[in-house]
Structure 1
Amino acid sequence: MINTKERSNSRLIACCLVFFSIYSFSVCLAQVKKNLVEFTNPIGKGADPWVIRHNGYYYVCQSNGDINSKGISIRKSDKLSQLGKPVTVWNAPDEGWNSSQIWAPELHYFNKKWYIYYAAGKAGPPYIHQRSGVLESVTDDPQGEYVDKGILNTGTDTVNETGTIWAIDVNVGYIGGKLYAVWSGWEQNATTDKTSQHLYIAEMSNPWTISSARVKISSPDQPWEQGGPLDLNEGPQFLMREGKVFIIYSTRESWTPEYRLAQLKLKDPSKTPLDAGNWEKSGPVFQGTAKVLGTGHASFTQSPDGKEWWIFYHTKKSKTPGWDRDLRLQKFNWRADGSPDFGLPIPAGILIPVPSGEY
């Protein structure tokens, strides 16, 4: 027979078990909720992040590995703040102009087909062989099979075996109903990769064909674009909203903490973007701090509900020159004049609310 004292102890133990079970559940629930409504940077490893939103999913396109990559993968996720599992969709051939050095691929969707724009070279370093090409999807599945549509005409060089001029970081977009490509390139081919890079634009007759002569629209001619071992403009990205057209590009050196973003604005969208005088430069518009190094090569998208704009970019992990980088994400706003306001990069480990509509 259980005495009064034993009965009292049993009740105390039972009450304690209930209390700690509720407490543990509450702590667990709070952590789950925290993970659902907040995230921290970085969200992944790598460089040159490209993201596109399509039919309720986010697709992130990247080269496989470091600067010496030989393949391209695509991630799929219903959450912008969480990267999906990478699926390799294309591997470089064993030989030819695009057999190695696969850089900065971008995924675009036109006429129920997916297109990947990428840079590649037959060898390197030195990285003097980089050219740009296009892949086309066999189906409407961005993680499916692709076929090679060939090299883009990013400038004519009849002496070179490819017939073209050095070019990387091709981005494409429609302006006034016409398709344009913008990229980073050299004025002419050189025997050293210590060559200054400029931004060029040209019209396209279809997603794999540049049909006009290239026009140089930017050179590293401003004080905040100069001062390092190599002056360059690269990583151009069209950013369009409410009839206004911007190109957000990277300047300074990608392997240093000084990498940063600058801006070109199309002064009159009713006039041709092939007129260099129709572009107005400003910057820097987004740059590193003591805690965030080398902010650059960004892409842009909206939250799941379309209410917010987000910038997806990479940073350096240390001040040591090199290409060890990670991926970061943060919301940005728009100024009264219609230009983007990126603010300051958010340091690693700081809690950030997930994109609107994601929770």
Structure 2
Amino acid sequence: MLATLSGYTAADEGKNELPDTLKGMFKNPIAAGADPWVIKSGKYYYTCLSNGNVDSKGISVCRSLKLTEPGSKITVWTAPDTGWNSTQIWAPELHHMNNRWYIYYAAGRKKGAPYIHQRSGVLESVSDDPQGQYIDRGLLQTGVDKNDPSGTIWAIDVNVASIKGKLYAVWSGWEKNMDTDKTSQQLYIAEMSNPWTISSKRVKLSGPDQPWEQGGPLNLNEGPEFLLHKGQVFIIYSTRESWTPEYRLGQLRLKDPARSLLDAANWLKSGPVFQGTQTVHGTGHASFTTSPDGKEWWMIYHTKRSTKPGWERDIMMQKFKWDKDGNPDFGKPEPAGKLLKKPSGEEGG
């Protein structure tokens, strides 16, 4: 919960500079913030982020030739003064479909706790420019609640993917609307008829039902991300509490890609597939991309700066591999400050 990506400014550029003798290397963190979303399009990487912390009012997009440097940000959308999405802009994601860009985000109608008003919506670019103007396509139907002013059920962290000619959305949500944000979060999936319309009933794929997903002040599944590789379909998600050092990643794998994604029994859960160490805390909310030359897979995620509960977090990245069974092998998180080899094909690498 409290899914934000904030704190990065243009002033952060250059803070990761190394001497000329180490130009082929980089070190984490690459920026301050949380819930990183990075997408590669052509020769550029685009980073999508909210402006500010939990009470954010806007969304920005950065562009860079380098995966290790987010680049300067441009605000592409500012929340309205009133309405369901007037404040608390959380964890925006940028996707490219049909020569347009779409930003999926969560927002609320009231500032501050309790965070019981979060719903999910989508913006559509006016042109094929991810840093250009966007129009508001409105709420996504993430569960029907006729007794709620929005008509929908609490939902955050929407991710989408086109799989075998069909568009799907996956997100973190509640079973039903509650008057407390101390409510367990589940993962849901549904089919979409277009980038701004969920056209099927939601199906619950996962809840925090395993021992490694439990034990803290609030059991949750959130931050789901589709990860596609050689015909296999994965959903990598975050579990435990994002404000604690126990935040970690779990995995759902589609057992039979020929069968429906909307069949909950067709998904196999495993985990944790990535978690903190004695020196790296609260690893979660990852996104995935490839190196500039397309030869390597990279994960971008956030960590906590200390073991104390709170929201001071940094953006980290590291390369990962695929094991003999076709599963992603994320390894262990590398500590901040360690020299790592730059992504293959990156300028200066």
Q: Please indicate the TM-score interval, normalised by the length of the shorter structure.
A: over 0.9
SS of alignment partner, residue 115 of structure 2: coil
Say whether the 8 Å CA contact 1:71–1:91 is kept in structure 2: yes
Q: Deviations over 1:273-326 (max 9, x none)?
A: 000000000000000011110000000000000000000000011111111111
What's the TM-score, normalizing by structure 1?
0.91
**Correspondence 1:334 to 2:314:** no
Structure 1 runs of 4+ off > 2 angstroms? none
2:202 counterpart of 1:217: no
Q: Which residue of 1 aligns with 2:96?
A: 109
CA displacement at 1:113 relative to structure 2: 0.1
Among residues 121, 124, 133, which one is paired with 1:145 in the alignment? Answer: 133
- Name the structure 2 match of 1:59: 46
1:33: Cα distance to partner?
Answer: 4.0
Once residues 327 and 282 of structure 2 are traced to their aligned partners in structure 1, the CA distance between those partners, rounded to angstroms, is 22
Paired residue secondary structure (1:268): coil
Which of the two has greater helix per residue?
A: 1
Say whether the 8 Å CA contact 1:130–1:166 is kept in structure 2. yes
Q: What is aligned with 1:197?
A: 185
CA offsets, 1:86-127, max 9 Å, x none?
111111110100000000000000000000000000113100
Q: Quick one: distance in 2 between partners of 1:351 and 1:74?
A: 27
Offset from partner CA, 1:234-266 (integer Å, 9 cap, x none): 000000000000000000000000000000000
1:47–1:314 CA contact under 8 A, matched in 2:
yes
SS of the residue 1:127 aligns to? coil
Partner of 1:236: 224
2:309 maps to 321
Look up the SS of the partner of 2:19 in the other structure: helix
Within 5 Å, give how 1:242-321 maps onto structure 2. Answer: 242-321=230-309
Q: Return the alpha-carbon distance in structure 1 between the equivalents of residues 147 and 124 of structure 2.
A: 29
Give distance in 2, aligned partners of 1:207 and 1:63.
Answer: 20
**What SS does structure 2 have at the residue aligned with 1:224?**
helix
| Offset of residue 31 of structure 1 | 2.2
* Letter paired with 1:53: K
Tell me the C-alpha RMSD between the 2 structures. Answer: 0.8
Range 220-229 or range 119-128, more displaced: 119-128
1:340 offset after TM fit, Å? 0.2
**Paired letter, 1:245:** V
- 1:256 aligns to what SS in structure 2? coil
- The structure that has the greater radius of gyration is 1
Q: Aligned partners of 2:308, 2:57: CA distance in 1, in Å? A: 25
The reply to whether residue 31 of structure 1 matches residue 19 of structure 2 is yes
TM value normalised by structure 2? 0.93
Aligned length: 329
